[in-house]
Amino acid sequence: MLKSREFKNLIYTTLLSLIILFIISLSFSLGSIKLYKNYIIENNAKIVSSLTKKYPNMESEIIDTIVNNKEDTNNGIKILEKYGIDKDSLYLIKLNDEFKNNLILINIIFIILSLLIITIIFFIHIRKIYKKCDKLNNYINDVLNDNYTLNISEYEEGIFSTLSNDVYKITNKLKEQSEILYKDKKYLETTLEDISHQLKTPLTSMYMINDLLYDDKIDKKTKYEFLNKNKEQLQRIEWLVTSLLKLSKLESGTIKLNQKNIKVKELINKSVESIRIPIELKEQELIIDVDNKTIVNIDLNWTSEAILNIVKNAYEHTPNNGVIKISVKDNPLYVEINITDNGVGIDDEDINHIFERFYKGKHNSKDSIGIGLNMAKQIIERQKGEINVISRKNSGTTFIIKFYKNNM
């Protein structure tokens, strides 16, 4: 409390008020003494005037007696009491009405002035506190109305300064949270639009095929063809939903990657296992140049899915009889995995966008959804890795993945 600026100000204000009251009290006391002194002088002057008139020959003795009077007071009081004059009725000390009124007026003025000064001093102090409270209240109201532009941070000591700075810190936190919520809202809105768009095409196709299947004139062979097409669309929807669920888990951070030291050869073999047959059917050559000693610290399942998406991208953009090569470089800083094809390449206008979700380049197949490379990038970067791409038109593409060894 002693360190509080407001508490110190209150102490200073109180001390200042007491000092001012002391000065005023002293001034009025001196004034009262002077007034009383004048009254005594005036009263003695009346006595001198009265006695000198009665005893003109004793003027000097009377003056000397009044000025240098050393007689016993008690003896004088006893003499006066013999004549029925008590202390309260003594003319010499009995205050007249004018003197009493002046003395009372002085005391009333002293009390009023003292209260007025104290009130003014404390009003000024309370007004400063109120202004700070009002400023803080207005600021909080602005924050509640989503106005975060004001700054109430202070650089002075005191409770209000500390409170203002704390409120300002909370406001910044709320502002950040509000911005995050807004981005999440826009992100969710965009995501739902993209998902709706991606689902609309296969669903529309399935509705059309389903309507055709109601026709009894269609032969059995044609019906089987339509049913197979519907099956393909259902598989596409299933893959889309599964991929979006995986992507949403990655983006929300709900997935905990289980990173372990894994042989790169094991990772590559697991990654290409499901796509070997499609590659063979397309008469493409898959070359894997990986030694059996290179180790990388990764989550095997998620990383193999990332590499599968990249290999699948190479498979889709490489013509029949093309070549897909996976090679690995190992150095003291990182393990580098290169996935190279001799396909159509990536246009200059597309290369900066290929890792964006739902982005489709000019040469993407009509069945491509545009989330595979985005998912691969997120999986790799969640493990403190990085992915880049180099491509030349009609000369092929190389994806470069680096996993740094400081994570091992």
Q: What is the pLDDT of residue 223?
A: 83
Residue 317, C-beta contacts closer than 8 angstroms, at least 6 positions apart? 341, 343, 344, 345, 363, 397
Q: What is the CA radius of gyration of the chain?
A: 51
Q: Are residues 243 and 268 in the same domain?
A: no
**Residue 93 pLDDT class (50, 70, 90 cuts):** very low
Q: Is residue 149 situated within a structural domain?
A: no
More confident position, 35 or 320: 320
**Residue 368 pLDDT class (50, 70, 90 cuts):** low
Angstrom distance (rounded) from CA 330 to CA 402: 10
Angstrom distance (rounded) from CA 185 to CA 177: 12
Q: What is the pLDDT of residue 360?
A: 67
Instruction: Return the DSSP state at 71.
Output: -
Q: What is the pLDDT of residues 210-219, one digit of tens each?
A: 888 887 778 8
User: Residue 229 is which amino acid?
Assistant: K
Top mean-pLDDT range of 77-86, 214-223, 389-398? 389-398
Res. 264: pLDDT tops 60: yes
Q: What is the pLDDT of residue 266?
A: 94
Element (H, E) at 404: strand 396-404
Angstrom distance (rounded) from CA 49 to CA 43: 10
Tokens 């029949």 belong to 320
Q: Are residues 187 and 235 in the same domain?
A: yes
Instruction: Outline where 273-391 has alpha helix (H).
Output: 276-281, 300-316, 348-351, 372-382
Angstrom distance (rounded) from CA 347 to CA 362: 8
Q: What is the pLDDT of residue 354?
A: 87
Q: Is 176 helix (H, G, I), strand (E, B) or coil?
A: helix
Q: What is the pLDDT of residue 2?
A: 46
Beta strands in 321-363 (DSSP E): 323-330, 334-341
Lowest pLDDT segment from 68-77, 235-244, 297-306, 345-354: 68-77
* Token reading at 372: 């595979």
Q: Are residues 202 and 104 in the same domain?
A: no
Q: Is residue 150 situated within a structural domain?
A: no
Res. 270: pLDDT tops 50: yes
Res. 224: pLDDT tops 80: yes
> Last residue of some domain: 144, 172, 196?
144
Q: What is the pLDDT of residue 84?
A: 67
> Last residue of some domain: 144, 178, 212?
144
Average pLDDT of the segment spanning 222-244: 81
Domain count, the chain: 3
Q: Is residue 90 situated within a structural domain?
A: yes
| β-pair partners for 285 | 323
Q: Are residues 263 and 216 in the same domain?
A: no
More confident position, 299 or 145: 299
* Token reading at 275: 């796509």
Q: Are residues 211 and 179 in the same domain?
A: yes
Residues of the domain holding 379:
257-407
* Token reading at 400: 């470069």
Res. 117: pLDDT tops 90: no
User: Residue 407 is which amino acid?
Assistant: N
Q: What is the pLDDT of residue 268?
A: 94
Lowest pLDDT segment from 39-48, 49-58, 280-289, 358-367: 358-367
Q: Is residue 152 situated within a structural domain?
A: no
Check if the beta carbon of residue 148 is closer than 8 Å to that of residue 171: yes
**Residue 337 pLDDT class (50, 70, 90 cuts):** very high
Q: Are residues 398 and 298 in the same domain?
A: yes
Pairing state of beta strands 396-404 and 386-392?
antiparallel
| β-pair partners for 263 | 295
Contacts for 383-392 with beta carbons within 8 Å, 24 or more apart? Answer: 383/257, 383/259, 383/297, 383/298, 383/299, 383/303, 383/407, 385/298, 387/355, 389/346, 389/351, 389/354, 391/345, 391/346, 391/351, 392/345
Angstrom distance (rounded) from CA 326 to CA 337: 7
Res. 94: pLDDT tops 60: no
**Residue 143 pLDDT class (50, 70, 90 cuts):** low
Q: What is the CATH number of the domain that holds 306?
A: 3.30.565.10
> Last residue of some domain: 144, 169, 196?
144
Q: What is the CATH number of the domain that holds 182?
A: 1.10.287.130
Pairing state of beta strands 295-298 and 260-263?
antiparallel
* Token reading at 208: 């059309």
Q: Are residues 284 and 389 in the same domain?
A: yes
| β-pair partners for 385 | none
Q: What is the pLDDT of residues 346-363, one digit of tens each?
A: 888 888 888 887 776 655
Q: Is residue 207 situated within a structural domain?
A: yes
Check if the beta carbon of residue 271 is closer than 8 Å to that of residue 396: no
Q: Are residues 218 and 357 in the same domain?
A: no
Q: Are residues 224 and 358 in the same domain?
A: no
Q: What is the pLDDT of residue 91?
A: 44
Angstrom distance (rounded) from CA 88 to CA 37: 19
* Token reading at 327: 């090679």
Q: Is 373 helix (H, G, I), strand (E, B) or coil?
A: helix
DSSP string computed for 57-77 = GGHHHHHHHHHS----HHHHH
State what percent of residues in the chain have pLDDT above 70. Answer: 74
Beta strands in 260-333 (DSSP E): 260-263, 285-289, 295-298, 323-330
Element (H, E) at 401: strand 396-404
Q: Are residues 120 and 93 in the same domain?
A: yes
Q: Are residues 322 and 372 in the same domain?
A: yes
Res. 32: pLDDT tops 70: no
Q: Which of 376, 404, 379 is nearest to 389 (CA)?
A: 376
Res. 7: pLDDT tops 70: no
Q: Is residue 29 situated within a structural domain?
A: yes
Res. 148: pLDDT tops 70: no
Average pLDDT of the segment spanning 288-305: 91
* Token reading at 68: 């240098």
More confident position, 36 or 57: 57
Q: Are residues 161 and 195 in the same domain?
A: yes
A 10 A CB-CB count for 332 gives: 5
Element (H, E) at 386: strand 386-392
Please give the mean pLDDT across all residues of the chain: 77
